Structure 1
Amino acid sequence: MNGFDQLNRYVFNQANVRGELVRLEDSLQHIVHSYEYPPQIQGLLSEMAAATCLLTAILKFKGEIGLQIQSEGPVKYAVIHATHEQTLRGVARWDESLPVLPQNFTDLVAKAVLVITITPQDGERYQGVVALDKPTLAECLEGYFEQSEQLSTKVMLMTDLSDPERARAAGMLLQVLPTSAESTKANGNPEFDHLCKLTETLTEEEMFSLPVNDILYRLYHQENVELYDPQTIRFACSCSRERSAEALRNVDKAELLHIIEEEGAIKMSCQYCHTEYRFDAIDVEAIHGGHFGSTPANQ
């Protein structure tokens, strides 16, 4: 549908600026409808999903990037993970005792921080933390890049919840390529500022209705833009029976067998995709004996 569930990367060859455009629909549904989320939570998760896809450009290796909000406000936490293969998953927890949730971002995530975690398949995990002290998630991400990376960055995030059954999200990112001291915000970059002003003229209606090529032409028809092949985005969960078993390996065997005696089995449910994994006494013996995997699966 006009390039949804795709990440589009492009560069401005004469301006030393890169850009990205992402639009999500099918890949978003399992995330926002996995629980009975209020519209405010659906909107927050949708924005975070679009933002996380945009940030996958940070990954120059195989691995995963996660955005997690930790808050003392109505939203206790919200997290989205994306991989270098453009797979998405996410979940949120909020104060369900509240009859009504705030509409604006600041009140929804009061006294909050955003934790950006980069996890390579090979290498050490990196975490960056930024206070959510600006009116929008997009502005907070811009602040993160300015403080942590010293890179001039423009982020736009949009959501469309007009159809309760088909949430949509979109985002754009412009960033100066880090090739010289001129990349910093402090030194300024007239070409980057000009491109930002052009980008800000895009309306939500245009974002969600026009094909990608038409959007780029509408915004940058006087610029020299090189558009790369898009990457497909989909929902996927990384849970598995083996990972669940590995978690049980750290629990005392006697305690696990006691649970099985009382409840018949140990049940572990993934919070992202709701897949349930069941383990019996034979499984527990195999797990703690170091030979789990040779026994039949009881998923």
Structure 2
Amino acid sequence: MPDRDKLQGFIFDQFDIRGEILTLKQSYGEAIARGNYPQLIKHLLGEFMAAAGMLSATLKFDGVLTLQAQGPGPLSMIMADCTRHHNLRAIASFDRAYDFNTDEPLAALVGMGTLSLTIDPSNGERYQGIVPLESENLANCLEDYFTRSEQLRTRIWLAADTELDSPRAAGLLLQALPRQLETSAEENLQMWEHTTQLANTITAEEQLTLDHEQQLHRLFHQEPLRLFEAKAVQFNCSCSKERISQALLSLGEKELNSILDEAGLVAIDCHFCGQHYTFTRDDIQRLFDESPPVLH
């Protein structure tokens, strides 16, 4: 049976090249079930989730990695985020009057906007890199990002399909490392070109149906490769009543009382997981009674 909802790293023992391989099933299915998305956007959400999941392997501290594209097009925003513990979620905002039954590339759908990669640690400074959304697909846009922002040779292959027996998404990443081994720079470059040419032969069907070892053997069986232990990936939303309460406090008591006067309660839905939160007038009053005073 193919690997599902797993992330694995690997390295080439004799060369300064690392990789990540990921497959999603249940986590992807849960994410796209939360919104009434057209098929094209479901497909793109699968690619964003696979990419965010693989990139989260670089997190060495508690925090969240967020991958987001936004612009003036009919797909105004699409994003996925993943924690260090591989809790994954995704969402998209789009024009429901637009016909998404096309093969338009990501850049055209977003409207030639921007792609951002944000790392938000639990403690420490937030980091964000932004590049123009110029390439046709997410994999190429991310490769552009790493070339421009990180100056690391990186290749990415993404796949998603919602029309199989169940939704599936997958990703493969190769990245050239700073020189550490005794292998010369020229030999490393030759190996980089060789491995990326081999990886170019992977098909979406193989990514979505073969397990990790089968995919890597199919591509690199002639090269010494070390595959690390698999890590479980799962759909999990970070929303909570406490987080929603903090967001409500930022609106101010006057604004919330106005909502209460009109609707009788304050209702908030999490767009990621569908969780419904309600706050009565007593709940809102308690929030402000218990919150520390603001110093001016």
TM-score (norm 2): 0.92
What's 2:54 paired with? 54
Alpha-carbon distance between aligned partners in 2 of 1:262 and 1:208, rounded to the nearest angstrom:
50
Matches within 5 A, 1:102-251: 102-105=102-105, 106-163=107-164, 166-179=166-179, 189-251=189-251
1:5-84 alignment runs, 5 A limit:
5-84=5-84
Equivalent residues of 1:154, 1:196 under 8 A apart: yes
Deviation at 1:110, TM superposition (A): 2.2
Specify whether residues 139 and 188 from structure 1 end up closer, same or farther in structure 2 by C-alpha distance, changes over 3 A only: farther
Identify if the C-alpha distance between structure 1 residues 220 and 99 changes in structure 2 by more than 3 Å, giving closer, same or farther: closer
Distance in 1, Cα, partners of 2:51 & 2:39: 18
Amino acid at match of 1:194: H
Root-mean-square deviation (Å): 2.2
Distance 1:39 1:265, change over 3 A: same
How has the CA–CA distance of structure 1 residues 125 and 2 changed in structure 2, closer, same or farther, with 3 Å as cutoff? same
Quote the offset at 1:206 in angstroms: 2.0
Q: Distance in 2 between matches of 1:143 and 1:237?
A: 29
Identity over aligned pairs, percent: 36
The residue aligned with 1:295 is none
Structure 1: how far apart are the matches of 2:258 and 2:104? 47
Q: Name the CA shift for 1:122/1:179 in 2 (closer, same or farther; >3 Å).
A: farther
CA distance in structure 1 between the aligned counterparts of 2:191 and 2:101, rounded to whole angstroms: 41
Within 5 A, what are the aligned runs for 1:83-98? 83-98=83-98
Contact 2:160 2:208 in 1 (8 A): no
Deviation at 1:260, TM superposition (A): 1.9
SS of the counterpart of 1:273? coil
SS at match of 2:102: coil
- Aligned counterparts of 1:260 and 1:73: Cα–Cα separation in 2: 35
The CA distance in 2 between the partners of 1:255 and 1:47, in whole Å, is 39
Deviates more, 1:120-129 or 1:200-209: 200-209
CA contact (8 A) 2:159 2:208 kept: no
* Matched position secondary structure for 1:151: coil
- Worse overlay, 83-92 or 243-252: 243-252
Equivalent residue letter for 1:61? F
**Greater mean alpha carbon deviation, residues 203-212 or residues 121-130:** 203-212
Q: Which runs of 5+ in 2 are unaligned?
A: none
Sort the Cα spacing of 1:257 and 1:148 in 2 relative to 1 into closer, same or farther, 3 A: same
Amino acid at match of 1:274: G
Give the C-alpha shift of residue 51 in structure 1. 0.6
Output the CA distance in 1 between the equivalents of 2:256 and 2:228. Answer: 52
TM-aligned CA deviation for residue 71 of structure 1: 1.7
Divergent runs of 4+, >3 A? 99-102
The secondary structure found in structure 2 opposite 1:85 is coil
d(CA) in 2 for partners of 1:62, 1:248? 25
**Given that residues 101 and 108 in structure 1 are in contact (C-alpha distance below 8 angstroms), is that contact kept between their aligned partners in structure 2?**
no
Q: 1:41 to 1:116 in 2, by over 3 A?
A: same
Q: Which protein, 1 or 2, shows the higher relative CO under an 8 Å CA cutoff with sep ≥ 6?
A: 2
Whether contact under 8 Å (1:202, 1:219) holds in the other structure is yes
Give me the TM-score of the superposition, normalised by structure 1.
0.91
Structure 1 CA distance for aligned equivalents of residues 203 and 90 of structure 2: 27
> Is 2:254 aligned against 1:254?
yes
Which moves more between the two structures, 255-264 or 131-140? 255-264
Measured after TM superposition, the shift of residue 179 of structure 1 is: 3.4
Q: CA deviation at 1:211?
A: 2.1
Q: Deviations along 1:81-101, whole A, 9 cap, x unmatched?
A: 100111111110111112344
Q: Bigger CA drift: 166-175 or 260-269?
A: 260-269
Q: CA deviation at 1:291?
A: 5.4
Per-residue deviation, residues 202-225 of structure 1 (Å, max 9, x unmatched) = 122222222211211111111110
Contact 2:7 2:22 in 1 (8 A): yes
